[in-house]
Amino acid sequence: MRHPYEIRIYRWKPMGDWRYDDPAHKLHKTHSLKVKGFHPYIVARGVPAVDITYSRRLDSIGQAQVTIPLDGPEEWRPTLGRLADIEPYRYCLGIVRTSEDPGSGREESQLVWAGIIWSMRMDLETRVLQLSARDWLSFWENRHHTGRITDIEQAEIIRQVVLSGNRNWGINTETDAAATGRTRDWQAGPGEWREVASDLYDMADDLSGFFLTVDSRIVNEGTEDEHLRHVVRSTKDRTPVWAAVPSLKDRINCEIPEIYFDGSQVTNVSYAIGRSGNLPVRRRRDNTLLRREVPVRDVVGRYDSVGDSRVLDSRAETQLAFGARGIRVPRIITYPNAYPDPQLLDPNLGIKVRVEADTGFLTVEEPFVVTEARVQVEGDGSDRCELTLVQETLFQKGKWE
């Protein structure tokens, strides 16, 4: 049986000419490298791999590790030869998975992960090359912003930031951000350059925020012009949605090795402290019902870049929601090939799934939200998805009084 996973390697290709980067040049807007930026174009398909792992985490940048043998059958040599000058950051990684469509019986290939190769390790004893990559949002870890825009719709902030980055030797990121109906300030003080990716996640990770993800697709697949495109997406709110998969049932389609209980986050008084100019802004929220059950515990969040009381109120509410009860974290490992599309459990989309388990001590039957999905591909091509989850109630606003 053919291995269902394929590794493809891409390299940044300039889409414009640096000679026209001067804004005064008449071809600047249509031909300059500064405006046109880069796309990752195909270098090699069918790259052999002895180990493949890729993962996604809620409000975090996804990662992948691929191990390529430096020796092997003669038919691999031309493919490996095309990677002789491979270097971190100059090259990108794509992981393609082939599966059979249950309806038609035809094979379909799908890009399940893509991103930038940031580091490599060549082991000359075992003769392998280990590639470590992170998804496209890792590019925005190294792009920064300054200045201020006030009372802007959150989706518009994402659009403006991406467009600005694309016009300055960027990677042609597209956007499909959903309007949230909420506005906020976006600011970095004089002399301060704030990291774009960090601020985007900071804006998303809030009860009044949204889920943030990046989708990738292959363009002109199978041709010499094959390249990758990517789009930053956001949801309209922070409400988890059901995954299009059956329930996770212990010893039926998965195994549950452990459930971790954490009470260190329990809190019934929440402070969010920001700053407007040189003056601190303090907001407080109380869970008076919980204060009648357990001794008082407070949490303080400091947000020096936030001066808007509405945003601070939301931050205080978020801290209170996560502190309303102890956190339960099941770790689940799906059976081999239990799900034909691991992306159906992408945590960055706010996916929830029902978990059913009878431990003999307690029974679990409720929805949980996926916070991390890690896919490990075995040597025979079968995959197992290791999931980390938290209870859905942590994403719901409560009535504290």
Residue-level pLDDT, tens digit, the chain, 401 residues: 578 899 999 999 999 999 999 999 999 999 999 999 999 999 999 999 999 999 999 999 999 999 999 987 888 888 888 999 999 999 999 999 987 766 666 778 899 999 999 999 999 999 999 999 999 999 999 999 888 888 899 999 999 999 999 999 999 999 999 999 988 888 777 777 889 999 899 889 888 899 999 999 999 999 999 999 999 999 999 999 999 888 999 999 999 999 999 998 899 999 999 988 788 999 999 999 999 999 999 999 998 778 788 889 988 988 988 888 888 899 999 998 776 566 788 999 999 999 999 888 888 899 999 999 999 998 888 889 999 999 998 888 766 66
Distance of alpha carbon 238 from alpha carbon 210, whole angstroms = 4
Q: How many residues does the chain have?
A: 401
pLDDT of residue 401: 60
Question: The pTM is what?
Answer: 0.91
Question: Residues 24, 28, 32, CA angle at the centre, nearest 5°?
Answer: 135
Q: What is the helix (H) or strand (E) element at residue 162, kind and residue range? A: helix 154-166
For 376, counting Cβ atoms within 10 Å of its Cβ (0-12 exposed, 13-18 middle, 19+ buried), the class is: middle
pLDDT of residue 380: 82
Distance of alpha carbon 251 from alpha carbon 173, whole angstroms = 42
**Quick one: residue 292, left, alpha or beta (phi over 0 = left, psi -120 to 50 = alpha)?**
alpha
Cβ atoms of 172 and 38 within 8 Å: the answer is: yes
> 């996804």: which residue's tokens?
62
pLDDT of residue 308: 81
Q: What is the helix (H) or strand (E) element at residue 110, kind and residue range? A: strand 107-123
Comparing CA positions, the residue from 63, 45, 55, 72 lying closest to residue 128 is: 72
Distance of alpha carbon 213 from alpha carbon 211, whole angstroms = 7
Other C-beta atoms closer than 10 Å to the C-beta of 303 total 17
Q: At what angle do helices 154-166 and 196-204 cross, to 10 degrees?
A: 160
Query: Which DSSP symbol is given to 236?
Result: S
pLDDT of residue 134: 98
Distance of alpha carbon 62 from alpha carbon 19, whole angstroms = 35
